[in-house]
Structure 1
């Protein structure tokens, strides 16, 4: 192998690919990154046992070849190099990295032990990469990264394609975040899958322009993301482990707080000055306005610029303060909090933005939680 490429292009691709490397590999070779140079291109590939990632770069290739380099060490070296052309070559069992004023030699891994990576499924259509990144940012707080066993589906994000809409949904049993975006396809598509949280977190912002997506119809098998010279395929979580009944939740609105997202966020943070993150914050709404309180003292009250409208003359509900802030963070401007009763789920949304919905369950025994 003998290939030359600008440092900035190589560093971006290697850093992205190294993100997919397993933290606890079942086989030492899985810590490796395969570099294959041929026909004017350099292809970087990694595999952690469930997720495969590839990055393809245009390079000056004078000699074709393939090596398996220690992935994390390669990333650290390339990131530290000067912004000049980098030459990669294999010689006598080493990957040699040469650039202006620097030369490194890395012991390569045995290529015979590197697994055959799964093929990429054909894409069904595409979304804008920026829309996908923004949607994931809205739902990521509701992922339960530690969920396992019969709740393992909550450690991922459900992706659903239906007609001209793609929807991301996450839940940790206490809240449900949903974000939608336009879907583009040459043919009608209905598909879904629960993508592992790490796989989507590592790649949600990795694609510029069009992001092509592949999903199975029944949620079982492999999903793939591709675009901008990068490809990721991952085994999906068992679809039956994601609580699909959450789609059946209906909020019969009997009361509504109308506020400004930024103002309410400031009010919650002010009220929590006498408590700790994750402790309850009480929302009191009635004809006299909306106020917040937290901690064990009912004398610490923060009034917010909000109005209440609804059938109930007044109500008070208590919500985990972190969950409430997570639901408000993606919003700006006019925001509604719709409630049925003080103890049943509430919906946080914007009347001017139909692409985001956040359902949060109030605390049943807030005094004990405080």
Structure 2
């Protein structure tokens, strides 16, 4: 194998496929990136056996070939080069020679034959979605998925497509985020799946930096394929049935409060300092004089009560919630203002961005 390529393109490729490298791999070859020179392209692949990411760049290929290179080492090394062009060659089968104008480096590799075969997805359903729309949907939902894998379906993000509408939903049973969006083309029929939240989060890192207009999504019975620009991401799906969550969403709130995301977040951060000693429990009290009072109970470190200006429709109301769950939605929702709906202290709080009907966030109340 021998080729010349752009250092900048090489660095980009390595950084992207590195997202599939796990820190606790049991097989040494899984700590490596498969690099394959073929035609006028240089292909990169990495996998942790649950997620696989592939990427390609243009290259001046003088001799085709393939090898696997230690991911952390080659990525760190290339980031420290200053040349615009880099020469890569394999000298004796398992040694990569990296040459620039001022340096020559040899890196020990593992044979490409030992690298796992990345599965080909037998696509049964496919659709396109604008990259920006998918990126926003990921940002506004994936944080609500459970980090506890003991209930696998809750550690994933539910994706459903029906006609020209797509939904992404995540929940850990204490809070839930749902985002709806329109597809460019209407799909015949309907289908759904559960994608591991780690996969969705990694896809979000890719879409947030991609200049590609659309993302192509393909689904089989047990796999999902994302294509965006030069990137392909393949992941397994989670088996199981996602909870029938729609029934827990209150139809109408007795109290509706509109509040600035920035102002409420600042108050919540202060009150949260004192709520940590009490499982992040805070009280929200909405009053007809246009105030939302945010308070913590007294703990051994103290207590805090603060207020923020609101627009209120309905009766005075109050509810106890997890402050971190509130801060999460304020951090990730793409809006300047939100509307909080409350019924009573035993019913979920419903949070929506103002002037948007495509998103809803539910937080279960705390018993006090």
Report the equivalent of 2:340.
337
Q: What TM-score comes out, normalization by structure 2 length?
A: 0.90
Report the equivalent of 2:5.
5
Report the equivalent of 1:247.
246
Q: C-alpha distance in 1, partners of 2:283/2:30?
A: 49
Q: What does residue range 176-191 of structure 1 map to in structure 2 within 5 Å?
A: 176-185=176-185, 187-191=187-191
Q: Quickly say closer, same or farther: Cα 1:283–1:54, change in 2 above 3 A.
A: same
Give the CA deviation at 1:43: 0.7
Give the CA deviation at 1:299: 8.2
1:153 aligns to 2:153 (yes or no): yes
Query: RMSD between aligned alpha carbons?
Result: 2.1
Q: Quickly say closer, same or farther: Cα 1:103–1:265, change in 2 above 3 A.
A: same
Q: What does residue range 279-318 of structure 1 map to in structure 2 within 5 Å?
A: 279-289=280-290, 290-296=292-298, 300-310=304-314, 313-318=315-320
1:29-59 per-residue CA deviation (whole Å, 9 max, x = no partner) reads 2222111111100111122112222101111
Report the equivalent of 1:368.
none
Report the equivalent of 1:196.
196
Q: C-alpha distance in 2, partners of 1:309/1:352?
A: 15
Please point out which of 356, 360, 363 is paired with 2:359. Answer: 356
Q: C-alpha distance in 2, partners of 1:334/1:187?
A: 33
Q: C-alpha distance in 2, partners of 1:187/1:238?
A: 23
How many residues matched?
356
Q: What does residue range 75-224 of structure 1 map to in structure 2 within 5 Å?
A: 75-92=75-92, 93-122=94-123, 124-145=126-147, 147-149=148-150, 151-185=151-185, 187-207=187-207, 208=210, 209-216=213-220, 220-224=221-225
Q: Quickly say closer, same or farther: Cα 1:43–1:120, change in 2 above 3 A.
A: farther
Report the equivalent of 2:57.
57
Give the CA deviation at 1:283: 1.0
Q: C-alpha distance in 1, partners of 2:272/2:50?
A: 41
Q: Quickly say closer, same or farther: Cα 1:186–1:178, change in 2 above 3 A.
A: closer
Give the CA deviation at 1:83: 4.2
